[in-house]
Each structure stands twice: as structure tokens, then as C-alpha cells.
């Protein structure tokens, strides 16, 4: 009866205490560590551990076993450590054991906010002045070592959430972030205003210093982000902004001047090329005139001047008497007088006839020929037309040996018997054929003598 009484008493104790047969985590996702509410379990109970968590079995302050993701049947055969957890009491004829079970969430905990509550003083490396900088952002953490995390972070609390994470690491994060920001900006060779726009580079630099803080508690920093970082607009900041604006204006003005100088240079080069082209055309024209003047030996220059004088006189009827009074020459004066008389009085009378020299009109009228090219009246003896410069008569052939005139069709000189046909003169410089009597090559200007 006594044993029976103890047995009944034991049964009553077992019946009065809940015995769990299925063990699983029922906490929300923001909970990092969750203690299962019951501590008594049947041998053969089912343990379910999700892939984003791990389960710890603890007895008398000692972690007996850590379970990763999977479904487990908790028996002494499968897990010998349960033997020392077993109780003498039975539950429906099944042995039971007593322990504390904790579920630790190992998933990534996103968007944990951080910020610098007070401005961070940094020395601008470019302007050598102090700025006040503030920043904020977020980070992502995860539990890397479940046992270490539980012992150092959770401990006797038996419960931990994301809020506990922020509260416990806020000061450590702010301290490391402030130090790293100041060091990164000061050691750079750029302006603080420019560096603050390089958020990813800053975030990567700060991230390394936070790894050590979290690693001590069995966690790791997955990501670290800087949402915004800016310079407080104090007196130093406004002064630097003003200097930067003035520098940009000077750079813009310099670029404008350089662009104008480049444009002036381009226009000057085009102008020089145009002037060289015009000068070349003028030189070519002079060369062509020299060819015309040299076609008849040394007298070509005089005939060219005479042709130009007669051409000017034809355009200006008052020029004839001026040239005559200037003493240009008897033949030129007579030619000009006859031309002026013809233009002033074609019928032989009038004021023009009275102003012409006596006897000049008759001499010129009886001693003129008609230009075959422009039909102008040209005094006899002129080899070129005074109006158009055309050759008035075909040049006579002269024996190169004795200088005697050779009639057309003769192959030998009737005076000395020298042959009329001879080898052409060839310019030794350019190889062009040069007419007889020419002192210069008509193509390259080389002297033939």
C-alpha cells in the first residue's frame, strides 16, 4: 500500500504537471532568443528545429546539447545525454526528463537603424578647417555562434529581441562609427563635401571596425549602410562654400579665355591661309605677265608698257594730252592724239577737232591699221593692239646664223644657206621647250643663257 501510495502520489504529480510531446519555436521573427515555456518532456518527444534557428538543451546552467535544423525524436538511445536528465517519475508509463530549451534565431536581422546623436568634428584635409558632420543609416546582423551568443548576450535573461540588440550596441556602434568617419575623412586628400558623397566607400571603411564588436558576442555584421551623411552649415562651412564658388567662377572664366584664344588662333590661321592663297595667285599672275613680256626678247617689256598706256588712254579721253605733255614719246603722242580726235569728233569737226594738234589727225588717220581681234584703230608700226594687247602681225622668221629674214616656206636661209629648222631649246631645269630668243624659261623662269 505504501508503495502504491507513493506510486499514486507520483502519478498525481505527473498528472498535475504538463508533459510536452512536440517541441518547437512559436516566437515571432524579431525575437533573437526564445525560452520554451515548459521544462518537463516525455522520452520520445518530437523536437522540430527550423532552418533559420538552433535549439539549446540546458540543465543546471550547463548547455548539454545544441540541435541544428531538422526533426528529432528525443530518446536515450539516440541522444545519450538525456539519461542524466531523466526523472524517476513516469508519465503514462513513459520516462520523462526535465531541462530548459532555448531557440536562437540565426536569420538575418535587417534594417537595424543607427545614427550619430551628436555631430562628429572632423578636420577637412583640403581646406584645413573643422567641420561638423552627422550621419545615419542601418545595418544587418545575424547570430554566427549560437552557444557564444547565448552565454555572453542572453545569459540569465532567457529572452532577447532586436530592440535589445540596438539598446546594447548603440553606444559601441556610435563610438566606432564616429571614430572611423573622422579618421577616414581626415586621412583623405579630398574635400569633406566631396567625401560625404562617397557613401559606399565610407560604409566599407566603418564596417571593418564593427566586426570585432559583434564577434565578441557570437554575431556577425552582414551589411552596413550609410543612408545620409552631411556637413552642418556653420560659419566654416559657409566660408568654404563661398571660396569654392569663387574658384569655380575663376576656372570658368579661364576656360572662356582659353576658348576665345583657340578661336582667334583658328581664325588667324584661316586668314593666313587665305592671304597665302591670294599672294600665290598674284605671283602666278605676275609670272604669266613675265611670260608675255619675254616672248619677244628685251623689247617685250617696252611693248607691254606701251600696250598698258594705250589701254588706259582708250578708257580715259583726257589722258592723251597729259601723256603727250609729259613727254612720253613722239609715236605714242601721235597715236594718242589720233585716238582722242577720233573719239571726240568722229565726223572730222567739232570741238575735239579744234583741240587736236595740227597735222596730227591726218597723219594718224592715214597711218593706222585695224586690230584683227577687237577692230580698234592701231597706228602702223605698233606690234601690239593698244586696246586688247593682241599681236598685230605675225613675227618674221630670221636666220639664226646671219640674221637675214627668211620668207615663209623656206627651209634654208637664202643668204648663208643655213638650215631653218633646228633643234628646239630645252630648259635644263624643268625640261620644257623654250622658243628661240627667249632669255628665260616660260615654265619655271630659269635663265637660258
pLDDT digits (tens, 9 = 90+) for 315-329: 665 544 444 444 444
Instruction: Looking at mean pLDDT, say which of 191-205, 341-355, 392-406 comes out highest.
Output: 191-205
Look up cell 577692230; give the residue. Answer: 375
Q: How far apart are CA 211 and CA 148, in angstroms?
A: 15
Q: Spell out a b/e string for 96-115, using b for 16 or more CB atoms within 10 Å of the CB, else e.
A: bbebbbbbbbbeebeebebe
What contacts 439, CB < 8 A, 6 or more positions away?
294, 297, 298, 447, 448, 449
Q: Any idea which of 4-13, 19-28, 299-308 has the lowest mean pLDDT? A: 4-13
pLDDT given at position 135? 92
Q: Is 66 left (phi over 0), alpha (psi -120 to 50) or beta?
A: beta
Q: Residue 107 has what pLDDT?
A: 92
Q: What is the pTM of this model?
A: 0.50
Distance CA 386, CA 398 (A): 26
Cell numbers standing for residue 335: 597715236
Q: What confidence tier does 310 reach under pLDDT thresholds 50, 70, 90? A: low
DSSP single-letter state for residue 388: T
The predicted pLDDT at position 108 comes to: 92
Rounded-to-integer distance, Cα 395 and Cα 380, Å: 15
Amino acid at each position: 500500500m505504501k508503495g502504491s501510495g507513493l506510486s499514486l502520489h507520483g502519478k498525481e504529480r505527473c498528472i498535475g504537471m504538463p508533459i510536452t510531446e512536440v517541441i518547437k519555436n512559436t516566437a515571432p521573427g524579431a525575437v533573437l532568443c526564445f525560452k520554451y515555456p515548459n521544462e518537463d518532456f516525455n522520452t520520445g518527444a518530437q523536437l522540430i528545429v527550423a532552418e533559420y534557428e538552433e535549439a539549446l538543451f540546458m540543465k543546471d546552467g550547463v548547455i548539454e546539447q545544441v540541435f541544428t535544423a531538422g526533426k528529432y525524436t528525443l530518446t536515450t538511445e539516440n541522444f545519450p545525454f538525456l539519461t542524466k536528465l531523466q526523472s524517476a517519475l513516469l508519465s503514462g508509463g513513459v520516462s520523462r526528463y526535465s531541462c530548459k530549451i532555448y531557440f536562437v534565431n540565426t536569420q538575418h536581422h535587417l534594417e537595424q537603424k543607427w545614427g550619430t546623436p551628436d555631430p562628429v568634428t572632423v578636420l577637412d584635409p583640403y581646406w584645413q578647417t573643422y567641420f561638423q558632420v552627422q550621419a545615419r543609416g542601418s545595418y544587418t546582423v545575424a547570430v554566427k555562434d549560437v552557444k557564444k551568443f547565448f552565454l555572453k548576450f542572453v545569459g540569465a535573461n532567457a529572452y532577447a529581441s532586436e530592440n535589445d540588440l540596438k539598446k546594447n550596441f548603440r553606444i559601441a556602434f556610435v563610438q566606432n562609427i564616429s571614430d572611423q568617419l573622422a579618421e577616414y575623412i581626415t586621412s583623405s586628400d579630398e574635400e569633406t563635401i566631396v567625401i560625404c558623397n562617397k557613401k559606399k566607400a565610407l560604409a566599407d571603411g566603418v564596417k571593418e571596425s564593427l566586426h570585432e564588436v559583434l564577434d565578441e558576442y557570437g554575431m556577425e555584421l552582414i551589411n552596413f549602410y550609410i543612408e545620409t551623411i552631411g556637413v552642418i552649415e556653420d560659419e566654416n562651412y559657409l566660408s568654404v562654400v563661398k571660396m569654392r564658388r569663387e574658384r569655380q567662377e575663376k576656372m570658368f572664366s579661364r576656360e572662356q579665355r582659353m576658348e576665345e584664344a583657340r578661336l582667334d588662333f583658328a581664325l588667324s590661321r584661316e586668314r593666313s591661309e587665305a592671304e597665302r592663297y591670294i599672294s600665290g595667285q598674284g605671283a602666278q599672275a605676275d609670272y604669266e605677265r613675265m611670260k608675255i613680256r619675254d616672248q619677244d626678247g628685251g623689247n617685250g617689256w617696252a611693248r607691254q608698257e606701251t600696250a598698258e598706256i594705250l589701254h588706259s588712254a582708250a578708257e580715259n579721253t583726257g589722258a592723251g594730252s597729259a601723256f603727250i605733255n609729259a613727254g612720253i614719246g613722239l609715236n605714242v603722242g601721235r597715236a594718242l592724239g589720233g585716238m582722242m580726235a577720233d573719239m571726240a569728233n568722229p565726223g572730222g569737226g567739232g570741238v575735239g577737232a579744234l583741240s587736236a594738234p595740227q597735222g596730227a589727225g591726218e597723219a594718224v588717220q592715214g597711218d593706222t591699221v585695224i586690230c584683227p581681234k577687237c577692230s580698234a584703230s592701231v597706228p602702223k608700226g605698233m606690234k601690239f593692239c593698244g586696246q586688247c594687247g593682241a599681236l598685230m602681225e605675225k613675227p618674221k622668221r630670221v636666220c639664226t646664223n646671219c640674221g637675214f629674214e627668211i620668207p615663209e616656206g623656206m627651209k634654208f636661209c637664202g643668204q648663208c644657206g643655213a638650215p631653218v629648222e633646228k633643234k628646239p631649246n630645252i630648259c635644263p631645269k624643268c625640261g620644257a621647250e623654250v622658243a628661240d630668243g627667249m632669255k628665260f624659261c616660260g615654265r619655271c623662269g630659269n635663265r637660258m643663257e
